[in-house]
């Protein structure tokens, strides 16, 4: 009986780990985006100061280099892709956080 319990708690642990990396990735990114202030200029569906994230996703669909390029742009700021308003730099974001956020943005609407 003892062995059974061990087995089931291992299973439970394993499924928690899977959830953390797949199913619940989106809400975590939403929280990081909120914390990072992205939504003061962006929203998922409509243009605010910056482009809607669904529009960004559509624009770079199939562009294999977009994630790295956009992650750098989020961290360093930039302008010219959507109009004359620049996006300010976000130097507090770590490189991998910026990349995760951008991958999440690029998956918007799909
Ligand atoms: C102060 C306003 C502001 C904030 C805050 C902001 N953005 Fe932007 N963002 C913009 C503007 C304006 C553009 C359009 C820039 C351009 O035309 O090249 C943009 C463009 C983008 C793009 C597309 C870039 C391109 O070259 O097509 C992505 C991706 C993006 N933002 C993600 C983010 C993320 C993630 C955050 C939060 C960490 C964030 N933005 C925070 C204003 C903002």
pLDDT in tens, 21-48: 545 556 689 999 999 999 999 999 999 9
Q: Is residue 63 one of the residues assigned to a domain?
A: yes
- C-alpha of 4 from chain center: 39
CB of 42 within 6 A of ligand 1: the answer is yes
CB 99 within 8 A of CB 69: no
pLDDT above 90 as % of the chain: 73
Domain assignment present for 14 = no
Cα of 87 vs centre of ligand 1, distance in Å, is: 5
User: Other C-beta atoms within 10 Å of 46: how many?
Assistant: 11
Q: How many structural domains is the chain composed of?
A: 1
Residue 60 lies in a domain: yes
The Å distance, Cα 11 to ligand 1 centre, comes to 41
Radius of gyration of the chain (CA): 18
Under-50 pLDDT residues of the chain? 15, 18-20, 22
Q: Is the CB of 37 under 6 A from ligand 1?
A: yes
9 falls within a domain: no
Q: What pTM was computed for the model?
A: 0.83
Share of the chain above pLDDT 70, in %: 75
Instruction: Flag whether 97 is in a domain.
Output: yes
């Amino acid at each position: 009986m003892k062995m059974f319990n061990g087995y089931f708690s291992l299973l439970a642990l394993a499924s928690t780990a899977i959830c953390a990396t797949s199913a619940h990735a989106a809400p975590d990114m939403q929280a990081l985006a909120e914390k990072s202030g992205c939504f003061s200029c962006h929203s998922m569906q409509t243009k605010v100061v910056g482009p809607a994230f669904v529009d960004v996703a559509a624009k770079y669909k199939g562009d294999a280099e977009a994630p790295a390029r956009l992650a750098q742009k989020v961290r360093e700021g930039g302008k010219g892709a959507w109009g004359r308003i620049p996006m300010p730099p976000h130097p507090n974001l770590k490189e991998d956080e910026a990349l995760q956020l951008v991958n999440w943005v690029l998956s918007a609407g799909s």
